[in-house]
A and B are shown apart, each in its own frame.
Chain A
Amino acid sequence: MTEPTLADAAPPPLVYDDKLVAGILKDVRTIAIVGASPNWVRPSNFAMKYLLGKGYSVIPVNPGHAGKEIWDQMTYAELGDVPGPIDMVDVFRASKDAGGIIDRAIELKDEKAIKVIWLQLGVRDDDAAARAEAAGLTVIMDRCPKIEYGRLFGELGWSGVNSGVISSKRPKR
């Protein structure tokens, strides 16, 4: 009963205020998805299509698919190749690869006007996040913007998910 369990090894779960997350999703317009896959059953492809449908400008970044389109959007090999500003970098790569991408985003912060780095569900690098925050970037880890958008703006409850939202205000459409 006192043997360590698998759960003991994991760092404590991250907690973000709903207002912070909702503010990010309201403010950002251009999202670069690093690790966007052209394969339509992959989560990155799901998220990209969903975010396009919500009116975001989404730019896929994937060296293996550079020069080709995903959901009609041109794919670039790396963040530095993306033309124009990037409000948010959304990372669909394993935690071990996240640090390098975060450091690249810090380098490009001023050139690309990057404000937010978002690491997907299951992706977390606390040290790299601290470097990004020290550089003035907002960092969200271990979350999916598609799921958070759905949760905070009412759609996720349609799938029986607990949004945590309590309000007697009529939702705005």
Chain B
Amino acid sequence: MTDDSKKPDGPHEFGFETRAIHAGARPDAETGARVTPIHQNTSYVFEDAEHAADLFNLQTFGFIYSRLTNPTVSVLEERLANLEGGRAAVCASSGHAAQFLTFFTLLEPGDCFIASKNLYGGSITQFGHSFKRLGWDCHFVDPTDPENFRQALKDHPEAKGVFLEALANPGGLIVDLEPVAEVAHEAGVPLIVDNTLATPYLLRPFEWGADIVVHSTTKFLSGHANSMGGAVIESGKFDWAASGKFPGMCTPDPAYHGLTFYETFGDFGFTMKARAVALRDFGPSMAPMNAFLTITGTETLGLRMDRHVQNAQKVAEFLESHPAVAWVSYAGLKSSPFHDLAKKYLPKGPGSVFTFGLKGGYEAGIKCVETVELFSHLANVGDTRSLIIHPASTTHRQLTEDQQIAAGAGPDVVRLSIGIETADDLIRDLEKALNA
């Protein structure tokens, strides 16, 4: 190779911060508008009958109806695909909808998949109960040993995928991604990573072997708690034909006039199928306004995440030193069993959502969330504002106590999502609540 990379006009890899602002968002071709316009619009005029036919047949690229594609949502989709280092993305109305699109594209009735048991409580319920009604079984495993995934894939050879949260909610747990990806690939199935709590600024699962990334964009990506949304992103590197396990990708699809998605669209075939079948037929599309707000949020992702993790580290260190606190589960602390994995996978910091335990148990947890004034007591994470919740009485209350403890959400546990306010103000607010 010549040394073109050093010439100003040679090939160049743009940095994360540049891509977070520019990827997918060239100026508007018609008007020159620099900010991505909000296309608050449902449907698009065809050039002629032939153009309409081409669009419906997926023979050309373009817009038909905003349930499938919308120019504002498309900008966010391309941006997220770019930031994750993936090939393509499809957005959804929420993170849960993104998970549904993923599994509807992956599974047939009677299929199963393997999932980490350390997930957002809503995902455990979605996988363990609601998916069952569609004929999809989920087998949960302890994700702290990659061998558990290998064993589960041996016990369930019909499994079609492995799902985990690399930086898990709510427990401050980090999964050793690299060996789990190897285990999944040996079984010929994709590794699906929910990267919501880390965001691509802190962790890019594709670089460690993941094949599909899902997000609740509602959290750090939009960042200001003003828009619901989700996304499915594919790496473009998974071979859907090799194992013979994915007929839905590799054989003519009756839901799309006999089109074979992998053959026709290659490395973005999964995303095309998720959009053209699952999103089309179930309809959980992202609203253009929400896409606009999320696009705006992603522009400051790096700046915000740096402050989120700085503040989280300070608050975690304060809590660890407080006598009312039994333990703090934040991988940024040296005391965390996940500290080394954090340094490997999340060198910029292990996010800002973590849990701590109160010596006073369930009652102390309730009292803490009711006493704070600056922290908002609500069920969300990834806001500019600092948030607090007692999972056992809220997000994880539909689980049994054993399931709560297994998910890192036992009766004594308080979960924090540290915002980007002044760190000392957050510490003062918590200190007041703990001393009350």
Contact = CB atoms under 8 A, between A and B. Distances in A.
A171 B57 CA distance: 26
B266 A121 contact: yes
B266 A161 contact: no
Given A1-B182, A7-B239, A161 B69 contact: no
Interface stretch (A38-46, A61-69, A79-87, A97-105): A38-46
A37 to B, nearest CB: 12
Interface of A: 1, 3, 5-7, 10, 17, 40-41, 43, 46, 49-50, 53, 121-122, 144, 147, 150, 154-173
Contacts of B89: 160, 162
Contacts of B74: 157-160
Most buried by A among B26, B89, B275: B26
Contact of B271 (A3, A154, A160, A173): A160
Given A121-B263, A159-B69, A162-B88, 5 more contacts: A5-B182, A17-B11, A157-B77, A161-B88, A164-B82
A166 B23 contact: yes
A21 to B, nearest CB: 13
B25 to A, nearest CB: 9
A1 B146 CA distance: 10
Contacts of A122: 263, 266
Nearest to B50: A53
A11 B272 CA distance: 26
A49 B57 CA distance: 11
The 7 A-B pairs with the shortest beta carbon distances in the complex, nearest first, are A160-B77, A162-B81, A155-B61, A121-B266, A161-B88, A157-B78, A6-B242
A160 B88 contact: yes
A-side interface mostly: loop
B75 interface: yes
Contacts of A170: 26-29, 32
Contacts of A10: 239
Nearest to B178: A1
Interface stretch (B117-125, B183-191, B324-332): B183-191
24 contacts: A3-B186, A7-B185, A41-B258, A43-B263, A46-B57, A46-B58, A49-B59, A121-B266, A122-B266, A147-B266, A157-B75, A157-B77, A158-B62, A158-B69, A159-B61, A160-B69, A160-B77, A162-B23, A162-B24, A162-B78, A164-B82, A166-B14, A166-B23, A167-B22
B90 A169 contact: no
Contacts of A168: 22, 26-27, 34
Contacts of B77: 157, 160
Contact of B257 (A1, A17, A41, A163): A41
Interface residues of B, number: 60
B271 A161 contact: yes
A10 B260 CA distance: 22
B406 to A, nearest CB: 26
Contacts of B271: 159-161
Given A6-B243, A168-B27, A171-B29, A158 B258 contact: no
B19 interface: yes
A121 B268 CA distance: 12
Contacts of B30: 173
A100 to B, nearest CB: 22
Contacts of B18: 166
B178 to A, nearest CB: 10
A120 to B, nearest CB: 9
A155 B63 CA distance: 10
A158 B26 contact: no
Contacts of A154: 26, 29
A77 to B, nearest CB: 25
